[in-house]
Amino acid sequence: MKLKWFLLTVLLTMVTGLTGCGKLAVLDPKGPQAQRQADDIMLSIGLMSAIVIIVFVILVFMLFKYRASKQPEDYEPPHIEGSKVVESIVVGVPILIIIFLSIVSVRSNYIVEATPQGYEDQKPLVVYASSSNWKWHFSYPEENIETVNYLYIPTNRPLEFKLYSYGPITSFWIPQLGGQKYAMSDMVNTLHLAADAPGEYMGRNANFSGKGFAENTFNVTAVPEAKFDEWIKEVKQTAQPLTKAKYDELLKPGHLGQLTFTGTHLEFLPPPDHNHGSSSNADTHTTTHTNTEVSHEGRH
């Protein structure tokens, strides 16, 4: 009777606690990469839950079947040899589970590292995402604009982010669009994402990078392609140009609000030469900016 009331109390406590929890961002995907990762998470949770339930059922069965009983003081239990069947199950099942999850993980890793499925025939929007203490800078080289601490992206179009850092290692992460990837000072990492639905999403640095880490976040607004084009036109008409002096000021440690500029810092401060997983299109951008910088220095 006591066990029954204890279990009911635990169940009610769990239900009461979970009613205040909102839906996890990683389990509310808005893009193909995030959907794949959410499916893998749910698969892992389902598999682990099944294992836990089976183990607890066996535990309860063993406790009741082999519980203590009244035996004479001189009673000696019979000698039982190990069961090869039981030993095979105990060793073999975990091995099969590890093999299965490894295959799923490797396949998913190749999928999320490539252009999102269904977008292979479209030209990606290339965005250079660089971090500094403690802010994010987003350069749109083809549109020739730059934003700070916020992203505007079109829906139903592949996104190709070029990640690097002007400070410590950071991690670029938009939970509802895909997994995180590191931004480092000596190389450019490529992250492929896409947004299937319009909306407001949260992005952040997922790697501890000093005292300002907690506020190292950015907003993401996904809109249809037509509205994205309207935003580009508005920025070019209203935003101030980004100069090297202004950018040097932006790189100083501290927190900033959302800023918008025409032009990008790629013209006077190009990203690192080493590109990891980059496409030929992005390589062309990097080479062009690097050559421009070299030619400017030659003239001076």
- pLDDT at residue 71, as a whole number: 78
- pLDDT at residue 24, as a whole number: 83
pLDDT surpasses 90 at 165:
yes
**Mean pLDDT score, 5-18:** 60
- pLDDT at residue 282, as a whole number: 41
CA pair distance 222, 199, nearest whole angstrom:
5
E-assigned strands of 81-216?
125-132, 135-140, 145-148, 150-154, 159-165, 170-174, 178-183, 188-193, 199-205
Lowest mean pLDDT: which of 41-50, 81-90, 252-261? 81-90
pLDDT surpasses 60 at 229:
yes
Q: Residue 82's pLDDT band (boundaries 50, 70, 90)?
A: confident
CA pair distance 212, 2, nearest whole angstrom:
50
Contact status, residue 116 vs residue 178, Cβ threshold 8 Å: no
- pLDDT at residue 269, as a whole number: 92
**Mean pLDDT score, 215-231:** 96
pLDDT surpasses 50 at 296:
no
CA pair distance 164, 171, nearest whole angstrom:
9
- pLDDT at residue 157, as a whole number: 96
Q: Residue 3's pLDDT band (boundaries 50, 70, 90)?
A: low
Region of 57 on the Ramachandran plot (φ > 0 left; ψ -120 to 50 alpha; else beta): alpha
Contact status, residue 136 vs residue 204, Cβ threshold 8 Å: no
Domains of the chain: 26-63+85-113 (no CATH), 125-299 (2.60.40.420)
The fraction of the chain above a pLDDT of 70, given in percent, is: 85
Tell me the per-residue pLDDT of 15-39, one tens digit each, with 9 for 90 and over.
Answer: 555 555 557 888 899 999 999 999 9
CA pair distance 125, 146, nearest whole angstrom:
14
Region of 5 on the Ramachandran plot (φ > 0 left; ψ -120 to 50 alpha; else beta): alpha
Sheet of strand 170-174, all strands in order from the earlier edge strand to the far edge = 150-154, 217-223, 199-205, 170-174, 178-183
Beta bridge partners of 204: 173, 217
Tell me the per-residue pLDDT of 145-164, one tens digit each, with 9 for 90 and over.
Answer: 999 999 999 999 999 999 99
Q: Map tokens 């992250």 to a residue.
A: 191
E-assigned strands of 178-295?
178-183, 188-193, 199-205, 217-223, 240-241, 259-262, 275-276
Q: Residue 97's pLDDT band (boundaries 50, 70, 90)?
A: very high
CA pair distance 10, 55, nearest whole angstrom:
19
